[in-house]
Amino acid sequence: MRRKNWRIVIAGLVLIVIALVFFFFMLSFAPKSNDPVALTHTVGTVAGTVVGISLAMIIIGLIGKRV
């Protein structure tokens, strides 16, 4: 039997929310930027990386460890 690690799952969910808020917050700065395409690309890369790490955290937390 495995025991789920809910702290890691919750931390992963919080990171996803933070990444989405960061992405949409930075989109408001894109029209004012000198190069909006590069800004959007960089912000999307950062947000996507954080979401990927948080999904891995959620999966690891749901798998859990042996008791």
Per-residue pLDDT tens over the stretch 25-41: 999 988 899 999 999 99
Domain range for 19: 2-66
Label residue 15 exposed, middle or buried (CB < 10 Å: 0-12, 13-18, 19+): middle
Q: What is the mean pLDDT of residues 2-26?
A: 96
Amino acid 35: pLDDT: 92
DSSP string, 14-61: HHHHHHHHHHHHHHTTGGGSS-HHHHHHHHHHHHHHHHHHHHHHHHHH
Amino acid 40: pLDDT: 94
Count of structural domains, the chain = 1
The DSSP code for 11 is: H
Read off the pLDDT band of 14 (50, 70, 90): very high
Report how far residue 58's alpha carbon sits from residue 61's, in angstroms, rounded to the nearest whole number.
Answer: 5
With a cut of 90, say whether residue 48 has pLDDT above it.
Answer: yes
